[in-house]
Homo-oligomer: A and B are copies of this chain.
């Protein structure tokens, strides 16, 4: 592992491991806070956050599934939980009657607003506290580029149906 691998340089391996560990620690800390402070799982928070961010506070189920969870049924499960708590509503799309539009409710927005400061606080303490603003800019630039690249390739909610050749 630590020795020079055939595919990745020492530097690359180090960067990869650092990324993996940082995101793991960060996600764990943040998830703990969300649970305590808002009784939300990380996935549920992501769903709400995406909706708050979306124009009109609305998104189709499939778009949500692509962004957050990796199966339609998984999102249906989470959406039911959020629906039962009154944090979102689900209604048939006027454009396409097959689609379901998910919308944040006021209660959902309130909960996000309630949870966000503490969330942001943890992130700042853990990740940004001793990063310079140059670090942040570079991080944003480099990871943003990686994200765009990675977004381009993968299907996801489509995969269970489109059944592509499995490598193994």
State the A residues within 8 Å of B (CB). Answer: 1-2, 5-9, 11-16, 18-29, 33, 36-37, 49, 52-53, 70, 112, 116-118, 120-121, 123-124, 126-131, 133, 135-140, 142-147, 149-151, 153-154, 166-168
Contact call B19/A143, Cβ cutoff below 8 A: yes
Which residue of B21, B138, B150 is within 8 Å of A138 (Cβ)? B138
Contact call B126/A25, Cβ cutoff below 8 A: no
Whether A140 touches B22, Cβ cut-off 8 Å, given contacts A116-B5, A145-B130, is no
Which residue of B20, B142, B145, B168 is within 8 Å of A33 (Cβ)? B168
> How many copies of this chain?
2
Which residue of B8, B29, B118, B131 is within 8 Å of A154 (Cβ)? B29
| 10 new A-B contacts at CB < 8 Å, known A1-B49, A14-B140 | A1-B116, A2-B53, A5-B116, A5-B117, A8-B120, A12-B124, A16-B123, A19-B139, A19-B143, A118-B167
Which residue of B1, B13, B36, B124 is within 8 Å of A8 (Cβ)? B124
What residues of B have a CB within 8 angstroms of the CB of A8 in the complex? Answer: 120, 123-124, 128
What residues of B have a CB within 8 angstroms of the CB of A20 in the complex? Answer: 23, 26-27
Which residue of B24, B37, B128 is within 8 Å of A12 (Cβ)? B128
Which residue of B5, B11, B118, B131 is within 8 Å of A145 (Cβ)? B131
Contact call B6/A147, Cβ cutoff below 8 A: no
Contact call A150/B25, Cβ cutoff below 8 A: yes
Contact call B167/A36, Cβ cutoff below 8 A: yes
Shortest A24–chain B CB gap in Å is 8
Expressed in whole angstroms, the Cα–Cα distance for A117 and B90 within the complex equals 44
Shortest A114–chain B CB gap in Å is 11
